[in-house]
Amino acid sequence: MAIVMDGKKLSEKIRGSLKEKVAFYKEKYDRVPGIAVILVGNDPASTVYVNMKEKACLEAGYKSVVERIPESSSTEDLLRLVEKYNADNTIHGILVQLPLPKQIDEKRILYSIDPAKDVDGFHPYNVGLMHIGEDTLFPCTPYGVMKFFEEYNIDLTGKNAVVLGRSNIVGKPMSALLLKANATVTICHSRTKNLPEVCRTADILVAAIGKPNFVTKDFVKEGAVVIDVGINRLDGKLVGDVKYDEVEKLASHITPVPGGVGPMTITMLMYNTMKAFEKSIKINN
């Protein structure tokens, strides 16, 4: 039976230490980390997510601003808002909630965020730094996965890591962070041949494809560490990309869905905002 890696517990631990840091900086400099979240329209899932982010940030003592603007907003409207927060020195992180309505030029918006405030880690400048092995603002979901390895003392050096999925928000940055941690990395996608066979070479298997219960025991080598990033709705329930009941019998460690990687994403957004804030404190003091 695998060790279940508890994302709720790890999240609470990290949020607790962020809260302590906020209190320290407030006392020492009378400044706190600030985050601005821009939400365009009323997409229910995005609204829930933005509310969760706001609540978590406020609980930790961050300054949190949420700009809710209409669905009909233009690229220029959004650019003006981003510029406003780029120039605001009480704001250290800017997040534009995706997806954006069709009429908005998503790339122009994301690329207009000051890379020093790009707490989603999607700006090409930060992506570039990550790929050349520098410390920067890393995308929250894969960064959260790296925290599991740290917490559960899983040494990645020389391990075979297989990442299922090559999206810009999960699969690709995941593979870059694993490589940075000295794993030998293979990236799989929808055109990969002999998928189960490739996955069975993994000491570390990260599933991020968005297909419920796709990763069965045939994909998993005994003793592998299995990280399930997938969040899928199946028959009214949340399930991952990994067929949990089967795989947990083989794996040495596994993340559940829900309660695994999911809770870590907002936590790492707060972590990145603290990182950006600390950098600005260093520069300004």
Query: Which phi-psi region, left, alpha or beta, contains residue 266 (left: φ > 0; alpha: ψ -120 to 50)?
Result: alpha
Element (H, E) at 76: helix 75-86
Among 26, 55, 68, 189, binds ligand NDP (CB under 6 A): 189
- Which residues have a Cβ under 8 Å from the Cβ of 55 and sit 6 or more positions away? none
Under 8 Å between Cβ of 120 and 126: no
Give the residues across from 163 on adjacent strands. Answer: 187, 206
- The annotation places the binding site at 165-167, 231
Stretch touching ligand NDP by CB under 6 A, among 68-76, 147-155, 216-224, 229-237: 229-237
Question: Is-catalytic flag, 120?
Answer: yes
Under 8 Å between Cβ of 222 and 190: no
Site string for ligand NDP, 244-263 (x = CB under 6 A): -----------------xx-
For ligand NDP, the closer CB: 63 or 166: 166
- CA–CA distance from 144 to each of 83, 125, 276 (Å)? 28, 20, 17
The least CB distance from residue 277 to ligand NDP, in Å, is 22
Under 8 Å between Cβ of 7 and 259: yes
Q: Does 8 bind ligand NDP (CB under 6 A)?
A: no
Question: Is-catalytic flag, 43?
Answer: no
Stretch touching ligand NDP by CB under 6 A, among 16-24, 25-33, 80-88, 189-197: 189-197
What angle is formed at CA 153 by the lines to CA 152 and CA 157, rounded to 5 degrees?
Answer: 130
Site string for ligand NDP, 105-144 (x = CB under 6 A): ------------------------------------x---
Please give the Cα distance from 250 to 142 (Å, whole number): 23
Catalytic residue among 53, 63, 147, 275: 53
- State the CB neighbour count (10 A cutoff) for residue 227: 30
Question: Is-catalytic flag, 53?
Answer: yes
Site string for ligand NDP, 138-177 (x = CB under 6 A): ---x----------------------xxxx-xxx------
The least CB distance from residue 128 to ligand NDP, in Å, is 20
Considering only CA atoms, which of 81, 54, 52, 63 is closest in space to residue 22? 63
For ligand NDP, the closer CB: 33 or 230: 230
For ligand NDP, the closer CB: 73 or 141: 141
- The annotation places the binding site for NADP(+) at 165-167, 231
Catalytic residue among 120, 203, 228, 241: 120
